[in-house]
């Protein structure tokens, strides 16, 4: 029997398992409207894959606003309060990426170890709301790391928790910073979505149903 190259699969969360972009956008927009800042979908696109405080800094720079660390913490906290309220009231399985549930089930049936590595500090809350915690042997969120993507720390931490070597991992990512982080960790990486928005992955998918899972595990590519 041919030995699989891949023994673990690591997922980002937003845009890979579930679409929370609209909730992030709405919560940043609520903050911007309250503060009288300019914010639109074009600026929001620049926030993909980066942590909350870094996202806030992009918005502040765009508006030519200087803020103290305590003010930034207050603004970020306000945004997070808006976001968490939306997650609890609005997030549901209809927001999940098409075909991802069957994909997770198929990987688990093959005894593939699974990790979630997301810069979001709300990753565990999202998993709980969608009842997905049982799928992942390891979860690494923005609360667990010092260095955000494109630093490879988050993916290396995920591999460590799964007790596998980085080269045995296949990462599914949708953001440029995440693709760079996975590559820097020495892992194969599959881009989810439009390659023009996040170049650099080994392969790309727009549909989990098109994946030959057994071939993916043997070769490390989809």
Strands 138-140 and 113-117: parallel
- φ/ψ of 183, rounded to 5, equals -65, -40
Tell which residue, 115, 136, 113, has the closest CA to residue 217: 113
The residues carrying an active-site annotation are 12, 14
Asked if residue 140 lies in contact with residue 161, where contact means CB atoms within 8 angstroms, the answer is: yes
Per the listing, tokens 């609209």 go with 22
How far apart (Å, rounded) are the C-alpha atoms in residues 220 and 168? 8
How far apart (Å, rounded) are the C-alpha atoms in residues 66 and 60? 7
């Amino acid at each position: 029997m041919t030995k699989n190259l891949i023994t673990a699969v690591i997922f980002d969360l937003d845009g890979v398992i579930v679409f929370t972009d609209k909730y992030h956008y709405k919560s940043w927009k609520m903050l911007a409207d309250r503060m009288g800042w300019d914010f639109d979908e074009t600026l929001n696109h620049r926030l993909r894959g980066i942590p909350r405080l870094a996202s806030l800094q992009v918005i502040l720079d765009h508006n030519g606003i200087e803020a103290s660390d305590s003010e930034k913490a207050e603004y970020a906290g306000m945004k997070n309060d808006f976001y968490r309220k939306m997650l609890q009231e609005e997030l549901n399985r209809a927001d999940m990426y098409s075909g991802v549930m069957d994909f997770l089930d198929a990987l688990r049936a093959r005894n593939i170890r699974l990790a979630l590595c997301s810069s979001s500090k709300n990753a565990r809350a999202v998993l709980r709301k969608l009842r997905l915690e049982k799928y992942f042997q390891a979860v690494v969120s923005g609360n667990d790391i010092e260095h955000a993507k494109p630093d490879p720390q988050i993916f290396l931490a995920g591999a460590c928790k799964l007790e596998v070597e980085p080269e045995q991992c296949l990462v599914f990512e949708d953001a440029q910073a995440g693709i760079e982080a996975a590559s820097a960790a020495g892992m194969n990486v599959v881009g989810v979505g439009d390659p023009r928005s996040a170049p650099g992955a080994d392969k790309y998918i727009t549909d989990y149903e098109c994946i030959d899972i057994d071939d993916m595990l043997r070769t490390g590519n989809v």
